[in-house]
Amino acid sequence: MELKKVIRFNYKNLSNEAHKRYNELIDATILKHNPVNLKIESLYSRYHSSYLAEIAVLDLCFKSELTEEIAEQDLSRDNTFYGFKKSIGAALAHYDPEIRRRAGKIEFTLDIHGNIARKNYEKETAAIDKLTEELRANRMDDIEFLDLEPWVDLLEHENQKFKDLVLNRFDEKAELPDLRMTNARKAVDELLRAILNYVEAAFVATDDVVLGGFCRDINVISTDFKNKLAQHQGRLKAKAAKKDDKKTGGQDDKGADGQGDEETKEGEGVPEPNENVNTGI
């Protein structure tokens, strides 16, 4: 028997970026099933307007929230990318024609992606992920022949460090998000809950195929975010416990106490979702 329940979780525990991505997927899912067919035209109109308002506020907050550390890490991955290109350039000038031939194949792959280091933060992150994926899938023989695999490893590492910094920039010492962001998110959450409550109730009452398909799609997205959030909060608790153990010399068996747990409940990030759903997160 099909479960006629929509999976829910505490949306406020998502980071601002993950919250935006989550609602981006929800918004797309509503459009996929058509607000008219779901009989939520009025609710959706208000929800979509609130979501757009959240994006506008986030764009303003994002600029002020980016730390110097994130900017430095972006520069570090840029330098790694340029260093990789210079190594390929040196191989292209090698006297051995086989080395030149293989370097040319790698250069062709890089040229497809353009000057990655000049893209904005989000696009550069995605471009590096795609580039390294393509290199490993299609050019590893050439990479290994030229002994350039350490460059690919380093580029992936620097890009992951950047993603981790962005997704975890709100730690227990960070300032609370701007009040405008809090209010914008609250409006979106309230309207989303209203939509889900209505659709769930209608599905239970009518067993409508369209409503059932919508609920299943929503549950796939929510389950992914919910699981990623739980994993992230688990890592935060483990990190807090480790810090506490160092402070007490291992003699205090409390680890991260209740207060510590409470501090990680609000505003913590979740990795921008599993790329098969591409949360973000």
Q: For 106-142, write each residue's pLDDT tens digit.
A: 999 999 988 999 988 888 999 999 999 999 999 999 9
DSSP state of 94: -
CB 266: neighbour CB atoms within 10 A? 13
What mean pLDDT is reported for the chain?
Answer: 82
Report the amino acid identity of residue 97. Answer: P
- The 10 Å Cβ neighbour count of residue 103 is 23
Interior angle at CA 114, CA 112 and CA 116, nearest 5: 125
Predicted confidence band of residue 68 (pLDDT cuts 50, 70, 90): confident
Q: Is 212 exposed, middle or buried (0-12, 13-18, 19+ CB in 10 A)?
A: middle
pLDDT score at 270: 39
pLDDT score of 32 more than 90: yes
What single letter denotes the amino acid at residue 87? S
**Alpha-carbon span 125 to 156, nearest angstrom:** 10
User: Which tens digit of pLDDT belongs to each residue from 43-52?
Assistant: 999 999 999 9
pLDDT of 157 > 60? The answer is: yes
Local confidence band at 56 (pLDDT 50, 70, 90 cut-offs): confident
Percent of residues, the chain, with pLDDT higher than 90:
57
- Confidence class for position 37, pLDDT limits 50, 70, 90: very high
Residues belonging to the chain? 281
Determine the pLDDT at residue 249: 60
Residue 85 has pLDDT above 80, yes or no: yes
Structure tokens given for 9: 């979780």
- Looking from the CA of 40 toward its CB, the CA atoms found within 13 Å total 28
What's the rounded Cα separation, in Å, for the pair 193 and 246?
A: 42
Most distant CA atoms of the chain, gap in Å = 76
List the Cα angle 276/160/238 in 5-degree steps. 90
Cβ(192)–Cβ(23) under 8 Å?
A: yes
Q: Which two tokens stand for residue 217?
A: 């799609």
- Tell which wins on pLDDT, 65 or 17: 17
Question: Band of the pLDDT at 260, cuts 50, 70, 90?
Answer: very low
Query: Which tokens hold the place of 266?
Result: 């609000």
Assign 2 to helix, strand or coil.
coil
In this structure, the number of other CB atoms found within 10 A of the CB of residue 229 comes to 25
Q: For the chain, how many helices (H) and strands (E)?
A: 11, 0
pLDDT at res. 277: 40
| Secondary structure of 179-230 as H, E, C letters | HHHHHHHHHHHHHHHHHHHHHHHHHHHHCCHHHHHHHHHHHHHHHHHHHHHH
Token pair 């981790």: residue: 164
